Amino acid sequence: EKSGYTHFMLKEIFEQPQAILNTFRSRIDPEHGQLCLPELGLSDRDIKGIGRIVLLACGSSWHAALVAKYWLEQWVGIPVEVDIASEFRYRRLLLDKNVLVIPITQSGETADTLAGTRLALKSGAKVVAICNVLGSTITREVHGTLYTHAGPEIGVASTKAFTCQLVALFLLTLYLAQVRGTMASRERLTMIESLVELPVVLERELPGWQEEMERLAEEFVKSRDFLFLARGENFPIALEGALKLKEISYIHAEGYAAGEMKHGPIALIDRDMPVLALVPQNGVYDKVVANVEEVKARHGRLILLGSRGDANIGRIADHVVYLPVILPDLNPILYTVPLQLLAYQVARLRGCDVDQPRNLAKSVTVE
Ligand code: M6R
């Protein structure tokens, strides 16, 4: 049931604070800054022996994997590869028992992700799935499953399942860092505190974002194309924002690493091209600002999502959406939500079938 919401997608967007809370609640001890993830089925010895991590997934789940690469390499110091499952399954895999393979799938039934998982199991690698559906096919085959507790997701566009995958991957990062001793316990405590704060922040911001995104959507409802830009751990969120928009509103959209602009896409910029960039005040802030200034110089229509209190971005952009300042590592989760709402509002104004977009199925069980 939609509980008064016009679409399942909107309901699921608004369920995110609760879904995120459910995903981390039983796994952290906020008082002592400790994590506990026995469901991984990995001993401390297994974890200390990991030489490489391979993440594989499709669609939005692949975007979650791309964010996790930044977190894991930064905080655990293990090299991470990210593969699209349909690519992974048709190339030579150099796996062995010291590789941890992590398939990520909301449904647990995606054909390519399952096939890739089976190859990984055969190679002798350790395989731990991140999945939302209890007892789904993948969970019956892998060594362990870290469940996202997002609850059933009906809308074809992944929303709460995606942000909960990010939460699960963040917990996994902190846990591996804890066992391998790669992060000071004080730092881990700070990160856990910020994670605990996140549902509160989202709950508070959601109604305002909904209104702001409705206004933005009115202005851009007729656009033919859209470019999403970001850098660092937020770059995959540019991909996710573009995927959301194209799948439910049928507007052509691309996500790009902002630094790649000058290697091609900048040729597309003119007065009709909306460019949305994520510019939170983090380590690559100056770089992204320099990139979007180039968009402005070419008269692109610039929308910036950045930090509340940033006095600079308002001067460059046609539209600014201010988001609260949180732990930078968690920005990928925070910045996803207004992009979901933007896609939703645009699709709604265009009269699209938001929950059941054309040509798409909720789970892709054929190759
Ligand atoms: O169930 P899965 O997570 O394996 O599904 C993967 C993709 O099919 C899925 O994320 C798809 O891209 C969504 N429609 C995105 O909104």
Q: pLDDT at position 143, please?
A: 97
Q: Please choose from 7, 110, 154 the residue to mutate so as to test ligand 1's pocket, defined by most ligand atoms within 8 A of CB.
A: 110
- The pLDDT of 255-262, averaged and rounded, is 95
Using CB distances shorter than 6 Å, the residues near ligand 1 are: 58-61, 105-107, 110, 113, 156-158, 243, 247, 360, 363-364
Residue 1, pLDDT above cutoff 90: no
Quote the ligand 1 centre to 33 CA distance (angstroms).
Answer: 32
- Read off the pLDDT of residues 22-32 as tens digits, 9 standing for 90 and up: 999 999 998 88
Interface TM-score (ipTM) > 0.95: yes
**Mean per-residue pLDDT over the chain, rounded:** 96
Provide the token pair at 272: 């009709």
What is the band of 350 on the pLDDT scale with cuts at 50, 70, 90?
very high
Render 27-64 in DSSP notation, one character per residue. Answer: GEETTTTEE--GGG---HHHHHT--EEEEEE-HHHHHH
Q: CA–CA separation, 82 vs 66, rounded Å? A: 6
* pLDDT for 145 beyond 90: yes
Give CA–CA dist 128/75, Å, rounded. Answer: 19
Per-residue pLDDT tens digits for 183-212: 999 999 999 999 999 999 999 999 999 999
Q: Which atom of ligand 1 is nearest to the CA of 363?
A: 1
**Catalytic residue check, 222:** no
Q: Give me the helix-helix angle, 160-180 and 331-349, nearest 10°.
A: 170
361 pLDDT above the threshold of 90: no
**CA 158–ligand 1 middle distance (angstroms):** 6
Total-model pTM = 0.97
The alpha carbon of 62 and the centre of ligand 1 are apart by a number of angstroms equal to 8
CA distance 126 to 215: 48
- Give pLDDT tens digits for 57-115: 999 999 999 999 999 999 999 999 999 999 999 999 999 999 999 999 999 999 999 99
Ligand 1 site-directed mutation target among 8, 9, 56, 60, most atoms within 8 Å of CB? 60
pLDDT at residue 241, as a whole number: 98
